[in-house]
Amino acid sequence: MVTAASISSRIIDAILAEQLPPNARLGEQELAKLFGCSRTVVREAMIELSARGIVTVSSRRGWYLTEISAADARALYEAREVIETGLLRSFARRGAQLDMATLYRLRGHLEQQKAALGDANVGRRSYLLGDFHVCLAECLGNRILAAKLRDLTVLTTLFTMRHQTSGDAERSYKEHVAVFQALEAGDPAAAERRMCNHLGTWEEKVHMVREVDALESLRQALAPVTEPGVEVAGPKASDERKDGRGPAEIPATKGAK
């Protein structure tokens, strides 16, 4: 049976795996056919995602994945920094320690990230690198903030997909390891500093795209082949075309869970 929760979950996974670009259209009828249910169920999923800021409805036109403006992105990264470093700080202040099972879980997650680095599967790599932050928040013992953080991570992904700032996966992985090692060594304060630096490197990049943002999406849509110099934006768009699927198509294989 197809529930609204399963639909929204699939969509979120697809975004985290960079398989659904921002502004992708999510037609009710289309999704209903795809999932084999009625529009009612799809609509429930859309409303839920809308409450979480992930999709936006344009009246009687359709549902679209939210397009994150540069201003929103700034608030977004600030929010992530506040939450992620704040959780570590709170953890440090209460003098808690991660137990063996939790350390094991985090170590396992890092192993998966490492494995995905060499892998050709770009989607899974993106998914895991983003999911680590949520996983860490859960491990720090606050499910409420972890849930909020998951949504923020999704929105972050929507922004980086558009602006191609994701870049250095290997570096991200190494910084994750560094955070983990500080926690493992019982030094959450150091973990907080490292996390702060880790998030800071992304935040810098946001400020760099601040000015050009207004034209960015148009430019990307209009000039895919004419200028060979800007090819960083090219492969993604052409990848989507050559497998013959529309942008709103749901991938057949689930990201990872």
Residues making contact with its own copies (CB under 8 A): 4, 43-44, 47-48, 50-53, 72, 75-76, 78-79, 81-83, 85-87, 89-90, 141-145, 147-148, 152
The stretch near DNA (CB under 7 A) out of 31-39, 103-111, 133-141, 176-184 is: 31-39
CB of 39 to DNA, least distance (A): 4
CB of 65 to DNA, least distance (A): 12
Interaction between residue 27 and DNA (CB under 7 A): yes
Question: Which of its own copies, DNA, none binds 225 (CB below 5-8 Å, type-dependent)?
Answer: none
What is the three-state SS of the chain?
Answer: CCCHHHHHHHHHHHHHCCCCCCCCECCHHHHHHHHCCCHHHHHHHHHHHHHCCCEEEECCCEEEECCCCHHHHHHHHHHHHHHHHHHHHHHHHCCCCCCHHHHHHHHHHHHHHHHHHHCCCHHHHHHHHHHHHHHHHHHCCCHHHHHHHHHHHHHHHHHHHHHCCCCCHHHHHHHHHHHHHHHHCCCHHHHHHHHHHHHHHHHHHHHHCCCCHHHHHHHHHHCCCCCHHHHHHHHHHHHHHHCCCCCCCCCCCCCCC
Interaction between residue 57 and DNA (CB under 7 A): yes
Q: Please, which residue, 23 or 142, has the CB nearer to its own copies?
A: 142
CB of 35 to DNA, least distance (A): 9
Q: Please, which residue, 48 or 187, has the CB nearer to its own copies?
A: 48
Q: x/- string (CB under 7 A) for DNA, residues 3-22? A: xx------------------
Taking the C-alpha atoms of residue 28 and residue 233, their distance in angstroms, rounded to an integer, is: 29
Question: Which of its own copies, DNA, none binds 144 (CB below 5-8 Å, type-dependent)?
Answer: its own copies
Interaction between residue 221 and DNA (CB under 7 A): no
CB of 91 to its own copies, least distance (A): 9
The stretch near DNA (CB under 7 A) out of 59-67, 125-133, 137-145, 165-173 is: 59-67
